[in-house]
Amino acid sequence: MKYLSTRGSIAPIGFKDAVMMGLATDGGLILPESIPHLDRATVAAWSKLPYRELAFNIISLFATDIPKQDLKELIDRSYASFNHADTTPLVKKNGVYILELFHGPTLAFKDVALQLLGNLFEYLLKERGQKMNILGATSGDTGSAAIAGVRGKENINIFILHPHLKTSPIQARQMTTVLDANVHNIAVKGTFDDCQDIVKTLFNDLPFKEKYALGAVNSINWARVLAQVVYYFYAWGRLPEQEEVIFSVPTGNFGDIFAGYLAKRMGLPVKKLLLATNENNILSRFVASGDYSLGQVVQTVSPSMDIQLASNLERYLYYLFNENPARVREAFAELRQTGRIVFSAEEQKQVQSEFLTCSVGEAETLKTIADFYRETGYTLDPHTAVGVHGALKCVTDGSSAVCLATAHPAKFGEAVEKAVGAPTPLPPQLAALAGLETRCEVMDADKDLVKAFLEAKAN
């Protein structure tokens, strides 16, 4: 399997190079040259396999340049860190299915992708005799999943900046209690934007970037998308009837839902993908009316979806534009110049044949958590509640709906408590953090301080 860029200007590369490249060197996103198609019998047989076997079957269609035995070991190791025998169990509550994606080390769905990516990085760096220094900024969730993905790995250091005292205490502890020598938490006295600005500036410092082999773990890495395709098949295989279903996906960067789109293209019987957003609803507007125009980011109770520019949308646009990279380049030039992309009537029709959408406000989100808790005793986190609300409101044709549950409710305890009126019990993994030692470097928001720190710690 070879890979290309949505912008059309890289020579075809293999899977291993695609993982190491991250963002395509022409500024586009990496995609496979063709999407493998499975017949119905194969879909039916594979989707009933245990998680790791299914993951191996699907990922090996795309990772054709890694020896099968090595790939199998990488996958087994990645999902051994999950604390549920089903890895991503499917439960039914109140007439909808909930696909629990939060049984990984940091109790968020990003673990599904980042556990695999961490192992892939370690494997490929060793093979190539290279080292990597991962640098990133986080407002909470992604940072801890990235750290959990690479802690203790050889030839990798990770430097994660977070705004000092501005992440939730649990999220800060999830990061700073990781004491492995290759993990470096930096608490910046400033905002999340200050953290991001510093990271961007250092990535733009090309001699520095090269010298320290700076790497990123953001959601545009192809391996992350690929890892997420697996659970769509897995969920479908656990339904009592093998029918066409709707997946409801709480969406921020469009990575998770794009994996669902790929699963559909591979032959999974998906009727529609329901794109659920919070008040940051640029993607909902795109689906509902072809209006893709940037607004201001607003803060919500589902902060991991507080995003305007959805980095993975470009992958879908490549297919919407009939795999024409010139049209992709044009669209992003238009976005840069005018702050929006305009779609033809035909394109809008195509989008609506594949997606439903629902934009859910804070009151509705909290009410969904409260109602669900009262009626079923099951606690939704605020991100998951956005998708569940979408499914209860927008799936009106009697289809079965599978809602992706992207975080454990205890990670967003404050919002959940506001909704249900009582604190959510902490799972043992989070409760144990309270007594642990922490390590973190507190720093002024100054790129030179971060740079000097990285120089001192990188090896």
**Positions in the binding site for ligand PLP (CB under 6 A):** 108-110, 141, 219, 250-256, 304-305, 383, 406-407
Give least dist CB 264 to ligand PLP, A: 16
Nearer to ligand PLP, 105 or 202 (CB): 105
* Distance separating alpha carbons of residues 10 and 25, to the nearest angstrom: 7
Residue 23 Cβ vs ligand PLP, minimum distance, rounded to whole Å:
16
Least Å distance between CB 233 and ligand PLP? Answer: 18
Spot the catalytic one: 16, 68, 110, 131: 110
Whichever of 106 and 176 has its CB closer to ligand PLP, that residue is 106
**Positions of E strands within 374-431:** 400-405
Residue closer to ligand PLP, measured from CB, 47 or 253: 253
Q: In whole angstroms, what is the distance from residue 203 CA to residue 207 CA?
A: 9
We find the least distance from the C-beta atom of residue 170 to ligand PLP, in angstroms, to be 13
DSSP three-state, residue 93: strand
Backbone angles phi, psi at 187, to 5 degrees: -95, 115
CA distance 436 to 438: 6
Contact 197, 222 (CB under 8 A): no
Distance (Å, whole) CA 38 – CA 96: 27
If the CB atoms of residues 15 and 254 are measured against ligand PLP, the closer one turns out to be 254
- In whole angstroms, what is the distance from residue 243 CA to residue 165 CA? 48
Taking the C-alpha atoms of residue 403 and residue 407, their distance in angstroms, rounded to an integer, is 12
Q: Distance between CA 316 and CA 253 in Å, rounded? A: 12
Q: Is 110 a catalytic residue?
A: yes
Cα separation, 372 vs 356, whole angstroms: 22
Q: In the complex, what is the shortest distance from the CB of residue 360 to ligand PLP, in angstroms, rounded to a whole number?
A: 13
Alpha carbon distance 214, 194 (integer Å):
19
Question: 404 and 259 in contact (C-beta within 8 Å)?
Answer: no
Q: Which is nearer to ligand PLP, 13 or 195 (CB)?
A: 195
CB of 384 to ligand PLP, least distance (A): 8
Q: Which ranges constitute the DSSP H helices of 266-412? A: 282-289, 313-320, 325-338, 345-354, 362-376, 382-394
Q: Which is nearer to ligand PLP, 16 or 272 (CB)?
A: 272
- d(CA 48, CA 86) in angstroms, rounded, equals 11
- For residue 46, the minimal CB distance to ligand PLP (Å) is 23
The residue among 305 and 392 lying less far from ligand PLP, judged by its C-beta, is: 305
DSSP structural state of residue 349: H
* Count of alpha carbons within 13 angstroms of residue 336, beta-carbon side: 6
Which residues are catalytically annotated?
Answer: 110
